[in-house]
Structure 1
Amino acid sequence: MLTRLFAPVLVAVLVAASVLAWPRSASAHGVGDTTEVRLAQTIAGTELTVVIRQVVRVPGPLRIDVVAYHPVRDLTIAVRVGQESDTVRLLPGRAGSHPLVLGVDEVGPHELRLHAGGELSVLPFRVLVPRAAPWERLVHGGFAGAAALLLGALLAAATARRAPAVLLGGGAGAAMVMALTVALLSARFPPAQPDGALPTAPGGPLGRPYVQARIATTPATPVVGGRFTVRLDLVDGSTGRPVDDLVLHHAALAHLVVTSPDGEFFRHVHPTRTVAGRLAVGLTVDRPGRYLVSAEVERVESGGQLVSGEFTVTGPPLPRQLRDEAVPATVRLGSPVAGRPTTIELDAGRDDLQRWLGMAGHLIVRDEEGGFLGHVHEAGSMATDPGRQEADETVADHGPTLRFTFTFPEPGRYLAWAQYVRDYRIVTVPFVVTVGTEDAR
């Protein structure tokens, strides 16, 4: 009878212990510790998203997807990790995802190097292997002990030794209760730091100063129609040393917005990391004059910040027909009031929009003078469902209506640009917003 009583419990213990002991995959991580690393890059005039997929084992294969957005020209991208290298060939008009496989031999920090069109991008990432937390070892040991005690109880029962069987069975039950209790309370325990992870700085959260940024161009005085480079040199606000601990901020190390004072020229690009403390991106403009630069960055244990600067371009303007064509769209925003949230709706026409930078849409707002710049995301795609896996850049399942919520700080005239992606093409919709006051309504 004792055998019939203990057998189902023994099976349950063994199954639970096996599930908890099942090995987990290693992961390739940016500083942000996500399962997959997504890094937006603007290199050789082409907008890319580089996706570093989860690593199954170390040593083992490292799967990388290079997602290219229109306009795409004939371009070869050399990709290297350590001693492993491969190339991605982009052809005119052929946007989309381009997979390749390299290899990694160990956990910890790595660099993914991209060479294209004479430009270099060095992307840091880390390969992490999960490490068992102390509570996991306690749970595994509890189930293993319960299994051993239960097996002893079954053997004692089989030889008609009732007292030892009951004692061993009770011990098995106690061990199981302990293991289950610890497992249920595990959500309250801090996770174990995986092998290869960046050590936590003693300063704790928000323990590092903001960066100080110098924005310059090469050449120092760009010319209309000529390609030039915008550089961001970032140093620690306390030590003056180059800052090389930027975290992924909405799928990029930095978001850089360049506009002309009248808003006719607009670029939202993602500079490459070339060396420690330096980001760079190539641009071409079609009008002379002053250009405003704003960059969003975030460093480890510090926080997001906006740095700004400007540069001047000389030379005669290019013919009007070379300018970007406006994209027709319907924008609805009512009567915005300063200091109060405003809902802005954009009708994109169809429900076939793809995520870009982790969101279905982006809204960038600048005041008329250029002293203020704001950046918010489409409200629907910001909501997360724990039971639903986030779609990647290849899935077209958003739209047709994009909704943004934005609070304009002061009354006045604002320039705005809404962006979304369809068929791997980044669409920019410019519009103007006039913001009033509560008293004027």
Structure 2
Amino acid sequence: MKTKRTIVSSLLILGLLAGCGNSAENGQEPGHGHAAGHEADHNQGEQHAGHGTEQKAPAANLKASVAFASGSAKAKENTELRVRITDQNGAPVNQFDISHEKLLHLIIVNRDLSYFSHIHPEFKGDGTFVIQTAFPAGGTYKVFADFKPAGGSGTTWSEWVDVGGTEGEHVPVTPDSSLVKQVDDKEIELSMSGVKAKEEVLLTFEIRDAKTKEGINDLEPYLGAVGHVVILSEDAGQYLHVHPLDEKATGPKAQFATSFPKSGIYKIWGQFQHKGKVFTVPFVVKVN
């Protein structure tokens, strides 16, 4: 999964990563444990680390920014989102390693974490990635850009952005009373080996047929692995992107090892693929 792809720059100048149209102010820390989340809630550009079992420090001195092509975005309308990555001198970064089949993973959530999107912009040169997307309602969203500079370690930048239009109803992020969820025709149960901050925890997703309760053992690779897990703290200040322990597993269990950086409420999204369809299952847990 670490095949290197070298991309030659073309000429474009666009605004960049993790948010939309705001200047990027960043902070960085080395990863630790199986996945590290970093508190960075500046309402500007932020850098986090935490990619499964990778433990190298994030690439230093990179900058990223996000912008809408039209200058702004409106709810329920397609808009072009541009992510641009530069070095400390402002020069575009054009060489990236492929990470789980993609050069850039873009995670977008709204303020109360009720909306989640995992998409993959296309590289256009000059350090810039572009994608067409739409937001379901007006309000504030956080954009996380997850990438690997060539020869470097996994790096994530994030930024809050504003979307015009009527806001949806805000729902409190409340821990689930049961860690069993049904998505379409599947029943997914989450088991956790512990709920203490700063201690390694094993997350086990067991995926069954919702009607027969039989385990599903023919899961298909999603982005090169049995599944992917994204975890955010209630305020979206802590970010974890966790890869499975056994990427070639096919179910019914998929296991992920991580650690929560601090106590509090976290939302966990597990993503898997079966019969050609990707499904996402969310859980909310409290960490002591």
How far the C-alpha of 1:109 sits from its partner, in A, is 8.0
1:212 corresponds, among 39, 60, 63, to: 63
Residue 32 of structure 1 aligns with an amino acid whose one-letter code is T
1:274 aligns with 2:124: yes
* 1:22-421 aligned within 5 A: 32-33=3-4, 209-237=60-88, 239-316=89-166, 327=183, 328-349=187-208, 350-381=216-247, 398-421=250-273
The CA distance in 1 between the partners of 2:227 and 2:157, in whole Å, is: 23
Structure 2 residue runs without a partner (length 5+): 10-55, 170-180, 209-215
Residue 139 of structure 2 aligns with an amino acid whose one-letter code is G
How far the C-alpha of 1:302 sits from its partner, in A, is 3.0
Q: Cα gap change, 1:109/1:210 in structure 2, threshold over 3 Å: closer, same or farther?
A: closer
**Aligned position for 1:391:** none
Structure 1 residue runs without a partner (length 5+): 1-29, 38-107, 112-204, 320-324, 383-396, 437-441
Identity of aligned residues (%): 25
Q: Cα gap change, 1:302/1:411 in structure 2, threshold over 3 Å: closer, same or farther?
A: same
The CA distance in 1 between the partners of 2:254 and 2:237, in whole Å, is: 27
Q: Secondary structure at the match of 1:303?
A: coil
How far the C-alpha of 1:255 sits from its partner, in A, is 1.0
Residue 220 of structure 2 aligns with an amino acid whose one-letter code is Q
How far the C-alpha of 1:378 sits from its partner, in A, is 1.7
How far the C-alpha of 1:360 sits from its partner, in A, is 0.3
Assess if the C-alpha contact under 8 Å between 1:219 and 1:229 holds in 2: yes
1:428 corresponds, among 275, 280, 284, to: 280
How far the C-alpha of 1:110 sits from its partner, in A, is 8.8
The CA distance in 2 between the partners of 1:268 and 1:326, in whole Å, is: 20
The CA distance in 1 between the partners of 2:202 and 2:2, in whole Å, is: 33
Assess if the C-alpha contact under 8 Å between 1:293 and 1:308 holds in 2: yes
Q: Cα gap change, 1:271/1:411 in structure 2, threshold over 3 Å: closer, same or farther?
A: same
Q: Cα gap change, 1:351/1:312 in structure 2, threshold over 3 Å: closer, same or farther?
A: same
The CA distance in 2 between the partners of 1:400 and 1:256, in whole Å, is: 27
How far the C-alpha of 1:222 sits from its partner, in A, is 1.1
Name the one with the larger helix percent. 1
- When the two structures are superposed, what TM-score results if normalisation uses the length of structure 2? 0.69
- Deviation digits for residues 238-292 of structure 1, max 9, x if unmatched? x311110111122211111000121111011111101221011221121210000
Q: Secondary structure at the match of 2:111?
A: coil
Assess if the C-alpha contact under 8 Å between 1:255 and 1:271 holds in 2: yes
